[in-house]
Structure 1
Amino acid sequence: MGIFQRLMKNKELIPLAIIMTTAVAGASSFALYAFQKTDVVIDRKRNPEPWEMVDPTQPQKLITINQQWKPVEELQKVRRATR
Structure 2
Amino acid sequence: MKKLVVATFLAATALSLPAHASGEIDEATQAKITEQLTAEGYEVRRIDTEDGYFEVYALKDGKKYELYLNDAFEVVKSKSDS
Normalised by the size of structure 1, how large is the TM-score? 0.34
- Say which one has the larger Rg: 1
Could you say which structure has the greater relative contact order, defined with CA pairs below 8 angstroms and 6 or more residues apart?
Answer: 2
Q: Select the structure that is richer in helix.
A: 1
